[in-house]
Structures are given as structure tokens and as C-alpha cells.
Amino acid sequence: MVRVSIITIVHNNRATMEDCVKNVLSQSYKEIEYIVVDGGSNDGTIDIIQAYRERISQWISEPDQGIYDAMNKGIKMATGEVIGFLHSSDVYAHPRVIEQVAQVFENSNVSSVYGDLQYVDKEDLNRVIRNWKSSPYRHGKFRQGWMPPHPTFFVRKEIYEKYGDFNTHFRIAGDYELMLRFLERYRISAAYIPEVLVKMRWGGISNGGVKNILIKSYEDYRAWGMNDLNRGVHTILFKNLSKIPQFWEKA
């Protein structure tokens, strides 16, 4: 069985942390290494981690230099063959998500696996605000504004070791840069599971108003140049416009 490392990064998010932890621990798949990287919380988040410490494989609590620095710490701690991230406000859509992902890796030599994502109400996880239905990947789709939902993106650890981890110079778009680098620049193989894998509570820095959208768009544009890929403003425009139909698309 392939060993899957699931990494949760958190900082002062006591309100939803227990939901996240319990959700991971309720997964049907047994070969899970669960890693929690806390950024030095002081709101009671540590109490929740401590309450489940016997079932959490590894955890640390210390200051970090931002979200992508914390994620890189988790990657370095991981011992699994496959790495995935579940942030402290998110949950897997059902108990067999990791089992399904692991089966794809076990049955093929694919380097990455991803699926669909739903943005949901903070209080009612069954109330869908935005339905992010992805599609099979082919080289060049990023130019059309396409990208997979990062919380559903599982990657073999050897890919991180070969092509690098998250670029900490990014404030918001580090996940976009990493997936652009892996899929578009280095053309790693990818498999798509056509169903919702993750439910993400609405909010977060990338959805935090016009200013953050502009910052993210600029960082998206920078990501192309950093990876020696031909870029155009139209690509970033397509990327932002592609989100609009997701607000009324049915699950």
C-alpha cells in the first residue's frame, strides 16, 4: 500500500481545527501519516492538537515565515510516498477520499492526482457557494486559465525532491506557481478523479477582496516568467473569468 502523508498547517484557528483533525482521522485508508504544522498558535489550537496527539503522526508548533514556509516544513517532515495538504478550515468530502487517491497511485505510475472542490458556507458545509469542477489535464491548459484545485492536488514526494517545494517569495500564489512548475514546465503526469474531494470553507486570503485578487493576479503573472514560460495578460484574465460560472454551476 502506498503511504500518504497529509499535512495540515494552522495558526490560531481553533474554531475549525477539530473538524479538520477528526475528518482526517476518520478516513478509511489506513496507511496515512498525519502531520500538523502549527505556526505558534495562542488561541487554544494547541489544546486541540494535544487532545489528538496519540493519533497525529508528527506535529510541531513554532513561528514560521508564512503559509508556504509552513507547508515546506511539512514536506520535509513527510515520510510518505505521496503528499497532500488539508488546511485547518477544510474537510475531505467523504471518508474514502484518501483511499480513492491511493488506489490511483497504486494502479498507475502517475506522478499526481487531483479532483474537484467545493467552496462551502462556514457554518453549513452542505451549502455550496462555488463549485470548482475541474477536468483532465493536457499540456497547455494553463494558458487557457485552467488550474487544478490545490487542496485536491496529491503529488509523489519524489517530485518535490526533484523539482523543488513552494517558493516562499510568493504571498498568495505559491500554490499556483508550484502546480504551473510541475505540470506545465516539467510536464509531470496527472490523473483526474471527477468528483468532489475537498470542501473548503469560504474565505481565505485569495478571496479577500479586490486588493488580494490584484496581488494574486500579479503573482500569477510573475510565476510564468520565473519558470521561463511565455506569458500573457490574457492568460491571467482567462483564469479570473473562469471562476465566474462556478458560482452558479450545479454540483
pLDDT at residue number 34: 98
Residues 77/56, Cβ–Cβ less than 8 Å: no
pLDDT at residue number 145: 87
Q: What angle do CA 156, 159, 163 make, to 5 degrees?
A: 160
DSSP state for residue 228 in the 8-state scheme: T
Tracing cell 517545494 back to the chain, one arrives at 165
Enumerate the domain spans of the chain. 4-247
Give CA torsion, residues 95, 96, 97, 100, to 10 deg: 170
pLDDT at residue number 236: 62
Residues 194/143, Cβ–Cβ less than 8 Å: no
pLDDT at residue number 13: 97
pLDDT at residue number 92: 98
pLDDT at residue number 216: 86
Residues 4/72, Cβ–Cβ less than 8 Å: no
Q: Are strands 112-120 and 32-38 parallel, antiparallel or unpaired?
A: unpaired
pLDDT at residue number 229: 86
pLDDT at residue number 228: 87
Walk along the chain (251 residues) and give the pLDDT tens digit of each residue: 999 999 999 999 999 999 999 999 999 999 999 999 999 999 999 999 999 999 999 999 999 999 999 999 999 999 999 999 999 999 999 999 999 999 999 999 999 999 999 999 999 999 999 999 999 999 989 988 899 999 999 999 999 999 999 999 999 999 999 999 999 999 999 999 999 999 999 975 544 566 788 888 889 889 988 998 876 655 666 555 565 565 656 55
pLDDT at residue number 214: 85
pLDDT at residue number 144: 86
Cell of 220: 500569477
> Coil, helix or strand for 42?
coil
Q: What is the largest CA-CA distance in the chain?
A: 50
| pTM for the structure as a whole | 0.91
Give the whole-angstrom CA distance, residue 193 versus residue 196. Answer: 8
The structural architecture, per CATH, of the domain 4-247 is: Alpha-Beta Complex (3.90)
Cell of 206: 485569495
Cell of 199: 470542501
**Could you tell me the CA-to-CA distances from 60 to 9, 88, 184 in Å, in that order?**
10, 15, 33
Q: Are strands 4-10 and 82-85 parallel, antiparallel or unpaired?
A: parallel
